[in-house]
Amino acid sequence: MSRIAYVNGRYQDMRDASVNIEDRGYQFADGVYEVCEVRTGKLVDMPRHLTRLQRSLRELRIALPMPLSSLAVILHEVVRRNRVRFGIVYLQISRGVARRDHGFPLKPVRPSVVVTARTIDPAKGAANAARGIKVITVPENRWPRVDIKSTALLPNVLAKQAAREAGAYEAWYVDGDGFVTEGSSSNAWIVTKEGRVVTRPDSSGILSGVTRGVLIEALEALQIRFEERPFTPAEAVDAAEAFITASSMIVMPVVTIDGHAIGSGKPGPVARRLREQFHRFSAFS
């Protein structure tokens, strides 16, 4: 079955879908995006994603192209047309099409909207979680506004490629003060030997992940001790456990960092429990 995309008001075969070559998302990465998990055909935590989308648009002074309720209808329709039961739906909004000029278009233009969806085999994610993943660290080299979910992801692309070339799954950024910020496409967490779950505050240096936010609520409900503070790679290596979170992978245990085994070198009980329990605390629509 051919995949179907939504592009600026039309549902099209992916082979025919396209955007204008002067779209500012293409020429300047002048846009934002969201990725929402699809589970049993339903969107997971969509309202949180749309709230964050609205904030990103506001920070970049891009107009919301339509009511959030209309965007929600499109997301569901793209998932339905692609018959996705387990996977992701991707939404991108750019400033729109205008003559190439670094400044904003002199006359208002309509933002461009693209939505795609694809299936992800849940068995593959479960297998990765069962054996755990490898992480490397790289120097932080992104712009300061990583709190905006911008499509300007070249540093993230290079970090992810560095991880792959090192035989790892993810790369964690380390800032100038020696603290872990986040992964190239995930939030970073550790579990101390005292059983306390730790992640960096979302006040600076990271994107406020939707999965991260749900997990913080889950930790409270499960009465697991939690602390928001920076941590170093050395502390992570010395921790009992480590893991990453993202909409496309939920909770993924980390078993090595820069070649050093974490804890027993196998996925730990806290990460495994959080992965198993996560969707109890999610909103489905």
Which tokens go with 153? 């992801």
Whether residue 206 contacts residue 174, with contact meaning beta carbons closer than 8 Å, is answered with: no
The single-letter DSSP state of residue 110 is P
Residue 201 has a CB neighbour count (10 Å cut-off) of 12
Kindly give, in sequence order, each residue whose CB lies less than 8 Å from that of residue 157, ignoring residues fewer than 6 positions away.
Answer: 184
Check if 149 is active-site.
yes
Exposed e or buried b for every residue in 239-276, given b needs 16+ CB within 10 A?
A: bbbbbbbbbbbbbbbbbbbeeeebbeeebbebbbebbe
How far apart CA 140 and CA 68 sit, in angstroms, is 33
Give dist(CA 156, CA 250) in Å, integer. Answer: 19
Query: Which residue out of 149, 160, 193, 266 is catalytically annotated?
Result: 149
- Write phi, then psi, for 272 (nearest 5 degrees): -65, -40
- Which stretches of 145-240 are assigned E, i.e. beta strand? 170-174, 180-183, 187-191, 197-199, 226-228
> How many CA atoms are closer than 13 Å to the CA of 246, on its beta-carbon side?
20
Q: What token pair was written down for 202? A: 């979302």
Instruction: Give catalytic residue positions.
Output: 149
